[in-house]
Amino acid sequence: MPIRLCTALFIICMFQAFPVRAVSPAHPLDPLTWDEHWAVLKVLADAGKITADTRFARLALKTPDKLLVWEGKSSADTGRAAEVVIKEGSKTFEASIDLTASRVVSWTEIPGVQAPWLSEEYNNEVLFDVQASEEFQNALKKRGVKFPEFVQCNVNPRGGLAEPEYAGRRIGIIACQEQGQGRNLTPREIDGLNIIVDVNTREILEIIDEGGSAAPVQPAEYDLKSQTGLRRFPAPIAIHQPSGAGFKLEQGVVEWDRWRFHVRPDQRTGLVLSTVTWNDGGKPRPILYEGHLSEIFVPYMDPGKTWASRVHLDVGENSAGGLAGTLETGVHCPANATYIDAIVVEDDGRPKDKPRVACIFEKFAGDVTWAHANEGRQKRSLVVRMSALAGNYDYLIDWVFQTDGEIRVNVGATGIVGVKTSPQKNAASVEGGKPQPELYGRFVADHLIGVNHSHYFNFRFDFDVDGPANSFSLDRMRQTAIPKSSPRRSVWVSEAQIAAREADVTAHQGHGGHAMWRFLSSAKQNAQGYATSYQIMGVHSTQSMMDKDDVALQRAGFINHDLWVTPRDPDELYAAGKYTTQSGPGQGLQKWTAKNRDIKGRDIVAWYTIGMHHVVRAEDWPVMPTLTHGVSLRPFDFFDRNPALDTSPEP
């Protein structure tokens, strides 16, 4: 009997033998419990929706009504529901399950889309056919591979480029590495050889052989055992909190200083932070209803056929098994960290425990919150961290809460850069002593070139500044005429422009000048009569250098603007659209904002993209030092004075 059929029958038989009763958590935004997860499967099995071909791309909490959550209702009041994305053969289905009533509310086929990549597809059976093919074996021989049995291959989702010959197919691309020379297999990738397959039909569609180099590559180990002569600091630093953590974590709710918020692990985005409030004199003031990573886009800048499709939308394509990886003390998080575990869905629908997908810790590094002369306060902050392992890269995502009301979102890129082999040894061996433009990168080691690429991280911020009714203000700074009697010849002024519609936000971008972006309350003013607001302050903007007719850009059009503002829609959660596996152009923000909807005095959402272009340097090899960029959510007239004025001098 096929394994898939056994799996499906096992699930159904399990329910018949052991009835599942779901016990709901107290907080309505808590993720599904182990029992609730099984209860969803029972409801689907009872409804005849689980077959031998049923594969689960998502099984997660369907969040309740936002206003009920803000009112402080419990899960018993709001009810519990689940959202499910299922792949059956080449078809994709969405289901909504009412856990309170134990029934299927909806079951809908979504035509023309492909479900996110599954864990089992990375090792699809087509690998055996490929490795046994004569053309593949000849390609290995041509490259001097003496032991083909030690070649390791995987099937990865191929970045969609809208080729008509692949329309409707489940396209994977197979890349291989030669084992046997060190633990780090990155420099042993068999360059210039990719195999395009259909993982649904197990067909080999094309074997691309661009004649990669057989040049010798030295091992590039980075594990601790491989290092010699470790540097030791003469005076160690210890992180110690003798009285325990200075924050409280209970049922997903974090309380620290004046801050209170909810943390929920999510298989696709890693983490979701919700109901962020500030305790102002005993009264909680809402700031952010929801914030999370929305999408990651990493286009490589090599036009060769084996590199051209490396234009991944990692959140939508590569979150099988959970985007957030397991964290380790002393590696990802300090000794004083508290951890949060998760439950993820396996391909067959079963729940799986995934430990330590987030850590929370207090940070003190001698930074200054504010100072003047001999008065001031040192900075103590709270960090909520996850690490997203996306292929060769690791991305550390930090939400940093500060005592002055600011939330800083940092993205740290580390891991291993993408490299290709070269027949030249290094830059000095190239004619004229200069690398040629066709290398599309820089040498990081002998015969290895780090390929140029970009990283884009889009975050979705559902602002509720002193309530859900907000407006977006573009505060332009410009020179203004001054009286001739003034000794000055120029000054600038700031003028607030309230955006009425979505196009008003994007129209000004890319035209130069100076501006601030603020989200204003429609209901409250500070003591000086200004609308309370929060500012998005980006510190690193990277505009795309890709042509508008490049399909890769059209699929990731959210990078065309640093900031988008949309009216809140609970179905609009991901900047490049819900289904990015081989998606077509123009999805997500491009499609939604084409309606040019009203955003003034509404419940609105900000979408901000952090970008970085990466010209690889020698210091990035064999493992890259963390490069961090970020964005700040800063109070602007939200308070009547500096909110950190009353913090203690002792951190």
> Phi, psi at residue 89, to the nearest 5°?
65, -125
**For residue 98, what are its two tokens?**
């009412």
8 A C-beta contact, residue 640 and residue 487: no
Strand pairing category for 248-250 and 531-538: unpaired
Euclidean distance between CA atoms 57 and 462, whole angstroms: 25
How far CA 453 is from CA of 157, 359, 591, in Å, comes to 18, 29, 26
Strand pairing category for 351-372 and 151-157: unpaired
8 A C-beta contact, residue 86 and residue 54: yes
Q: How many CB atoms lie within 10 A of CB 315?
A: 26
> Phi, psi at residue 295, to the nearest 5°?
-160, 155
Residue 557 DSSP SS3: helix
Euclidean distance between CA atoms 441 and 403, whole angstroms: 43
Question: Read out DSSP for 578-629?
Answer: S--TTPPTT-THHHHHTT--B-TTB-EEEEEEEEEEE---GGGSSSEEEEEE
Burial class of residue 293 in the structure, from the number of CB atoms within 10 Å of its CB (0-12 exposed, 13-18 middle, 19+ buried): buried
8 A C-beta contact, residue 342 and residue 351: no
AA letter at 397: I
Residue 200 DSSP SS3: coil
Give the sheet arrangement for strand 351-372, strand by strand. 338-345, 351-372, 375-390, 393-401, 407-415, 624-636, 531-538, 514-525, 470-480, 491-498
Question: Strand (E) positions, 179-310?
Answer: 193-198, 203-209, 248-250, 253-256, 259-266, 270-280, 283-299
H or E element at residue 385? strand 375-390
Q: What residues pair up with 396 in beta bridges, in sequence order? A: 387, 412
Give the sheet arrangement for strand 203-209, strand by strand. 151-157, 171-178, 193-198, 203-209
- Catalytic residue numbers read 314, 393
